[in-house]
Amino acid sequence: MEIDGVTVEVLEASKTEFVWGETTYTVSVKIIYKGIHSKVFPLFVKNLNDLINKLKVEITKVKVLEYTYGLDEVKRVIT
């Protein structure tokens, strides 16, 4: 999927249903930013909109890192 012009690979999703009825998902994702592949990391979400919002936050962090320190620092931090 593409979020804010950045490619995101969703690698795996697992569903957890709690006794009290709440359902959450653990989603393993990888961000591909300007040819740099991040490590795979988990996001804990309630639904697709929550996943998209959390991905927007993570992508914004990467963009701010590039703006502040440059692309070499982005590569060092996310890989």
Q: What is the mean pLDDT of each run of 10 residues along the chain (79 residues)?
A: 96 96 97 97 97 98 97 96
Q: What is the pLDDT of residue 47?
A: 96
For the chain, how many structural domains are there in total?
Answer: 1
d(CA 52, CA 74): 21
Residue 8's domain comprises 2-78
pLDDT of residue 19: 93
